[in-house]
Amino acid sequence: MFDFFKKKDNQNKETQQNEEKPKSFWHFSFDGLKKTISNTTQNLVENVVSSVEEEEEFDDFILDDMEDLLIKADLGVNLASSITDKLRKQTKVKPSQIKMFLKDEFSEILKSAGSSALNINENGLSIFFITGVNGAGKTTLIAKLANNFRLSGKKVLLAAGDTFRAAAEEQLDIWAQRAQVDIYRKDGIDSAAVVFDAIKKAQNENYDILLIDTAGRLHNKKNLMEELNKVKSVIDKLAPGCLTESMLVLDANTGQNGLSQAKLFSECVNLTSVALTKLDGSAKGGIIIAIAKEFNLPVKLIGVGEKIDDLKLFNPDDFINALFEKK
C-alpha cells in the first residue's frame, strides 16, 4: 500500500517536472527571457550572422566588419577581436557555421566564469555586500532581493549603508516597507558604523540575510576604496564567513562604461558576482559575456523593470539558448 502511494507520488513529481513550471516568479520563463533580450539577440547574433553566413570564406574584410558589429553589440574590444582573430587563424569553420561557432564561444565563456547560483549559508547569517555607481540600481535591487528572500521564508534585514547620498536612507526605508522586511538605519554616522550596528542586530536577532546598501559616488577612487574597505573589514571582523556575495550592480545600458566600472570596483572590492539591471528594453546585454570574459565574474541576477518583482535569476544556459534560438 505504501509502495502504491510512493509510486503515485513519483508520478506526480514527474508530471510536475515535465511541465517545467518556473519554481517562483524570480525564475525567468524562457519566453520571458527571450522577449527581454530580443534587442540584444538582434544586435549580438542576428546582425552578425546575417552579415557573414552567406560568404564563401572568411577574409580580412569580412572579419573586420564582423569585429565592428561585435563591438557595437557591447562585447568589448578585447573580446570582439579575440573572436575574429580565432576565425582568422583557422580554416575549419566556414561562414555558414558562424552561428554555431558564436554559440560555442559565448557558452564556453559563461561556463568558465563560474556558477550563477547565489551563495548563501544554509545555516546562519548570509551577508550580501552590494556596490556600484550612483543610479546603477543598487537600492532597487536590494528591495527586490529582500522581497524574494522573504517570500522564500528567510528573515531579512537591510543596512542603510549609503550615508553619502541625500535621503538614501529614506529611500531604502520606503522600499523595506514595500518588501515587508526590517531595516537598520542611523542617519548622520558613517557607513562602517551603520554596518557594524546592523551586523550586531542581525546576529542578536537571528536574521538569515543581511543586505548592505552602499554609496556609489565618493569623489574619487581613493575615497571609494577607503570607504568600501572599511565596511568590508567590519564585516570580516564581526561576522567571519558570513559574507557570501560581494555583488557589483551594473546598468546594462551603460554598455562599455560598465566594463570600466567593473574594473574600478574589482580593484576596490573582492567581487564574487554581478547583477545587471535595466535589461528591459536594452540592446546591450552582450555586456554579460564581456564581463564574464574580462573579469571572470558570473552574472547572477538581472533587473527587468522598476517594480518589486522585476528581478530574475540569471541562467547561462537559458540565456545562450534564448540568444541563438531560431526566430
Ligand X SMILES: Nc1nc2c(ncn2[C@@H]2O[C@H](COP(=O)(O)OP(=O)(O)O)[C@@H](O)[C@H]2O)c(=O)[nH]1
Binding segment (CB under 6 A) for ligand X, from list 148-156, 223-231, 290-298, 303-311: 303-311
317 binds, among Mg ion, ligand X, none (CB under 5 to 8 A by kind): none
Shortest Å distance, C-beta 261 to ligand X: 11
CA 139 to CA 162: how far, in whole Å? 9
302 vs 50, 85, 268, CA distance in Å? 28, 31, 23
Binding mask 140-169 for ligand X (x = CB under 6 A): x-----------------------------
Q: Which residues touch 121 (CB under 8 Å, ≥6 apart)?
A: 241, 242, 244
Query: Considering only 100-108, 110-118, 138-146, 316-324, which stretch makes contact with ligand X by CB under 6 A?
Result: 138-146
**List 33, 48, 125, 137, residue binding ligand X (CB under 6 A):** 137
249's enclosing H/E stretch is strand 243-251
| Interaction of residue 318 with ligand X, rule CB under 6 A | no
- Tell whether residue 304 is a contact of ligand X (CB under 6 A): yes
Contact call for residues 262 and 252 (beta carbons, < 8 A): no
Q: Which is nearer to ligand X, 10 or 177 (CB)?
A: 177
Rounded Cα distance between 162 and 194, Å, is 9
Q: What residues from 196 to 255 belong to the interface with ligand X (CB under 6 A)? A: 216, 249
Candidate residues 126, 139, 246, 254; the one interacting with ligand X per rule CB under 6 A: 139
Query: What is the residue-wise DSSP string for 101-141?
Result: HHHHHHHHHHHHT---SPP--SSS-EEEEEE--TTSSHHHH
Query: Which does residue 85 touch among Mg ion, ligand X, none (CB within 5 to 8 A, set by kind)?
Result: none
User: Minimal distance in Å, beta carbon 77 to ligand X?
Assistant: 26
- Residue number of the CB closest to ligand X reads 303
Q: Kindly tell me which residue out of 183, 303, 320, 322 binds ligand X, with binding defined by CB under 6 A.
A: 303
Closest approach, Cβ 321 to ligand X, in A, equals: 22
Task: Please identify, using beta-carbon distances, which residue of 33 and 247 lies nearer to Mg ion.
Answer: 247
In order, the DSSP letters of 145-213 are HHHHHHHTT--EEEE----SSTTHHHHHHHHHHHHT-EEE--TTS-HHHHHHHHHHHHHHTT-SEEEE-
Min. distance of Cβ 307 from ligand X in angstroms? 9
Site of interaction with Mg ion (CB under 5 A): 138-139
Is residue 280 at the binding interface for ligand X, with CB under 6 A as the rule?
yes
CA distance 5 to 190: 59
310 binds ligand X (CB under 6 A): yes
The closest of 276, 270, 160, 161 to 225, measured between CA atoms, is 270
What the block records as the C-alpha cell of 122 is 544554509
116 to 135: interface string for ligand X, x by CB under 6 A:
----------------x-xx
32 binds ligand X (CB under 6 A): no
Comparing CA positions, the residue from 107, 120, 130, 161 lying closest to residue 273 is: 130
> Rounded to whole angstroms, how far apart are CA atoms 114 and 246?
14
Which range in 21-29, 62-70, 204-212, 276-284 contacts ligand X by CB under 6 A?
276-284
Shorter beta-carbon distance to ligand X: residue 244 or 253? 253
Specify whether the CB–CB gap between 157 and 207 falls below 8 A: yes
Taking CB under 6 A as the criterion, the residue among 9, 53, 267, 306 binding ligand X is 306
CA 11 to chain centre: 36
CA distance 242 to 253: 32
Applying CB under 6 A, which residues contact ligand X? 132, 134-140, 216, 249, 277-278, 280, 303-306, 310
